[in-house]
């Protein structure tokens, strides 16, 4: 029998007013028990709040930007069967201690008194004593992380020689549900780092060896020793602040050990290396891929983190990326919006994206965007929003070029018996190279401060290729040094590779200027988006026979429409008109391509 129940925010470590950064369900959705309903983000941790029972969402009572505390109503859910567990906070995902455990800096234990204890911090190596007042070498270990094992390290935030304060973040971990920073349990100087990005860790894994001076860390500096708060054991359903289940048995006990720098003790819980980090670009629910501290930093500066491009591994947004974004925004005249709410339309302070229940109007089907679409979509949106675009249209008379191209194609087939396809695009590549040489401003990029133009002395041309998974732009290198046939061969190869998803990142980087040819499909003109940090792109539409006045009469000519989009911060309209006219001339008289 169906039963209307309330899903509420569980114990989130006693924190109040934690912002909702994502709402992951809508009315009508069927949710499983423990399926995430919302994402919360404090300044130290991002966590998803799971549904306490399965059922159909009747009403969602929160929206992005709301701030919640324990007990806040998330949604009403028509729960299935009477046997569903009650959503009382006592049964909630997390005890205060556990939430604080996931919240760096708390220094509180996360497991119940009854549970076996995790390994305490090692005593100073020199003294062998525990937690006394003398300086020494001590181990910083991974605290209770909700009983999870093999959680990947996605950032190492300190390096050997750094002086760290107690509670300063040492590493960032990311499970499939949450990102969390692990703080130093005591102040000291990093003598040795014991793990790297990509390693997987569990409670007790050794992070670093710190040399502490004078006062050693307090009792709370030991990794998550149990400190029950008198409520008894955590519920069997209990989950960590990460929204992940807490192991009921608790972590394994371990003896305190003494270590010497550079000489890890026997039986050390060293994380196992794993293959390189798999290049994940977005967090669950498409939240930007950044640590909580970086997000907090972005918020402080009033930057919408969705607008920031990550330079870290797998596209991860780092602190420097936020700074660079701000510098660039200031240099280009835009200003980050102070206090703009997350997902409220970006640094441009636009309206939030409309949330519509399309199913109300008719049958619908949901199809997730491909990885390529997500990546290129984010880039296109940034480029379109940040670059002042103008598109210059021009016609090229390619009647003669086309006659030559056909002849060349036939020769290829008959002489070589091959299947090399010589399309108009290779002539366009050659013409573009000639134009870039003539107008070096087009073969340039603005640096990240927006104050300098970097002029390139090489001629690598990006070609937009349409694939079943979305648009990719492989780059043909050194086009100035290649002949038409070589370009035709390479174009055929990269298009094939692109469609077979075999292009590597190196083959899609280093471009100077891009060409987007829709000529094989149709159209008379379009406005391509500049592929930043390039400053211009050529759009090519379908050539067609048109009557052209030759001074005496209208003659049928094959006309190729060109659409040149450019960054108006770098290129003036007059220069763009000259560039486009030059291109048309080159294509109109192929002898010029030989010059």
Strand partners, 471: 466
Site stretch for ligand CAO (CB under 6 A), options 152-160, 314-322, 336-344, 536-544: 536-544
Is residue 560 a contact point for ligand CAO (CB under 6 A)?
yes
Closest to 290 measured CA to CA, from 367, 219, 350, 342 = 342
| Closest separation in Å from C-beta 425 to ligand CAO | 4
Contact 184, 164 (CB under 8 A): yes
Give me 481's structure tokens.
């040094």
From 70-78, 220-228, 314-322, 539-547, span contacting ligand CAO (CB under 6 A) = 539-547
Q: Is 568 a catalytic residue?
A: yes
Taking CB atoms, the residue at the shortest distance from ligand CAO is: 519
From CA 487, how far away is CA 461, in angstroms rounded? 11
Choose, by CB under 6 A, the member of 343, 543, 583, 584 that binds ligand CAO: 543
Which residues ranging from 438 to 477 are in contact with ligand CAO (CB under 6 A)? 463-466, 471
How far, in Å, CA of 561 to CA of 578, rounded? 16
> Is 416 within 8 Å of 408 (Cβ atoms)?
no
| C-beta of residue 145 within 8 angstroms of C-beta of residue 172 | no
Contacts of 531 (CB under 8 A, 6+ apart): 379, 383, 462, 473, 511, 514, 537
Tokens 């992380």 map to which residue? 145
Are 199 and 153 within 8 A, CB to CB? yes
Indicate the residue among 269 and 537 with the shorter CB distance to ligand CAO. Answer: 537
Kindly state the tokens that stand for 144: 């209770």
Q: Which residues contact 273 (CB under 8 A, 6 or more apart)?
A: 196, 198, 199
Q: Which residues, numbered 101-140, are part of the site for ligand CAO (CB under 6 A)?
A: none
Active-site choice (15, 148, 328, 568)? 568
Closest to ligand CAO by CB, 255 vs 500, is 500
| Binding of residue 519 to ligand CAO (CB under 6 A) | yes
Which among 102-110, 213-221, 445-453, 535-543 is the span making contact with ligand CAO, rule CB under 6 A? 535-543
Between 365 and 419, CB nearer to ligand CAO? 419
Smaller CB distance to ligand CAO: residue 234 or 503?
Answer: 503
Residues forming beta bridges with residue 152, ordered by sequence position? 200
* Residue 64 vs 390, nearer CB to ligand CAO: 390
| One character per residue 403-432, x = contact with ligand CAO (rule: CB under 6 A) | ------------------x-xxx-------
Q: How far apart are CA 200 and CA 162, in angstroms?
A: 23
SS (H, E, C) 365-382: CCCCCCHHHHHHHHHHHH
For ligand CAO, the closer of residues 269 and 425 by Cβ is 425
Residues binding ligand CAO: number (CB under 6 A): 21
Least distance in Å: CB of 329 to ligand CAO? 25
Q: Give the span between the Cα atoms of 212 and 219, in whole angstroms.
A: 15
- In angstroms, what is the minimal distance from the CB of 435 to ligand CAO? 17
- Residue 516 found at the interface with ligand CAO (CB under 6 A): yes
**For residues 49 and 52, what is the distance between their CA atoms, to the nearest angstrom?**
9
**Range 199-228, binding ligand CAO (CB under 6 A):** none
**Closer of 362 and 504 to ligand CAO (Cβ):** 504
Tell me which residues are annotated as active site.
Answer: 568
Name the site residues for ligand CAO (rule: CB under 6 A): 421, 423-425, 463-466, 471, 491, 495, 516-520, 528, 540, 542-543, 560
């Amino acid at each position: 029998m169906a039963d209307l129940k309330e899903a509420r925010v569980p114990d989130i470590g006693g924190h109040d007013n934690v912002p909702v950064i994502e709402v992951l369900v809508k009315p009508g959705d069927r949710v499983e028990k423990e399926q995430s309903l919302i994402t919360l983000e404090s300044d130290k941790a991002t966590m998803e709040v799971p549904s306490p029972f399965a059922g159909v969402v009747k009403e969602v009572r929160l929206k992005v930007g709301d701030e919640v505390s324990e007990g806040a109503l998330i949604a009403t859910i028509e729960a299935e069967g009477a046997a569903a567990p009650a959503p009382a906070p006592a049964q909630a995902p997390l005890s205060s201690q556990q939430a604080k455990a996931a919240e760096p800096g708390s220094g509180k234990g996360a497991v119940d008194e009854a549970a076996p204890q995790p390994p305490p911090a090692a005593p100073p190596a020199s003294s062998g004593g525990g937690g006394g007042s003398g300086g020494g070498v001590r181990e910083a270990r991974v605290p209770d992380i909700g009983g999870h094992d093999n959680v990947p390290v996605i950032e190492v935030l300190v390096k050997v020689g750094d002086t760290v304060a107690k509670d300063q973040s040492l590493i960032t971990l990311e499970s499939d549900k949450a990102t969390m920073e692990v703080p130093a349990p005591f102040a000291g100087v990093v003598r040795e780092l014991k793990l790297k990005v990509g390693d997987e860790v569990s409670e007790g894994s050794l992070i670093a060896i710190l040399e502490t001076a004078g006062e050693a860390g307090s009792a709370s500096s030991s990794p998550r020793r149990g400190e029950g708060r008198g409520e008894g054991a955590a519920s069997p359903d209990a989950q960590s602040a990460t929204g992940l289940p807490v192991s009921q048995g608790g972590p394994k006990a371990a003896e305190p050990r003494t270590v010497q720098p550079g000489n890890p003790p026997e039986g050390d819980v060293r994380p196992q290396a794993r293959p390189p980090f798999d290049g994940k670009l977005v967090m669950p629910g498409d939240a930007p891929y950044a640590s909580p501290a970086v997000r907090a930093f972005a918020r402080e500066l009033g930057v919408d983190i969705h607008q920031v491009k990550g330079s870290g591994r797998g596209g991860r947004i780092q602190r420097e990326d936020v700074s660079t974004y701000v510098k660039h925004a200031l240099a280009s005249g835009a200003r980050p919006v102070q206090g703009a709410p997350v997902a409220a339309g970006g640094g441009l302070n636009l309206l939030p994206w409309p949330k519509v229940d399309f199913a109300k109007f008719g049958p619908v089907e949901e199809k997730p965007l491909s990885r390529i679409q997500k990546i290129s979509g984010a880039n296109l949106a940034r480029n379109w929003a940040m670059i002042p675009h103008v598109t210059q249209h021009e016609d090229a008379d390619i009647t003669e070029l086309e006659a030559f191209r056909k002849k060349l194609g036939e020769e290829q087939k008959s002489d070589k018996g091959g299947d090399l396809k010589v399309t108009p695009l290779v002539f366009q590549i050659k013409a573009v190279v000639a134009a870039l040489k003539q107008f070096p401003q087009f073969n340039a990029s603005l640096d990240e401060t927006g104050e300098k133009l970097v002029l390139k002395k090489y001629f690598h041309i990006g070609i937009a290729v349409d694939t079943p998974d979305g648009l990719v732009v492989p780059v043909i290198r050194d086009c100035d040094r290649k002949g038409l046939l070589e370009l035709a061969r390479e174009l055929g190869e990269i298009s094939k590779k692109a469609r077979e998803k075999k292009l590597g990142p190196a083959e899609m980087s280093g471009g100077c200027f891009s060409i987007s040819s829709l000529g094989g499909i149709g159209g008379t003109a379009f406005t391509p988006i500049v592929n930043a940090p390039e400053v211009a792109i050529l759009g090519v539409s379908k050539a067609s026979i048109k009557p052209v006045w030759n001074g005496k009469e209208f003659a049928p000519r094959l006309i190729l429409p060109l659409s040149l989009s450019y960054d108006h911060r770098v290129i003036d309209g007059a220069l763009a008109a000259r560039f486009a006219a030059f291109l048309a001339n080159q294509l109109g008289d192929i002898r010029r391509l030989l010059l």
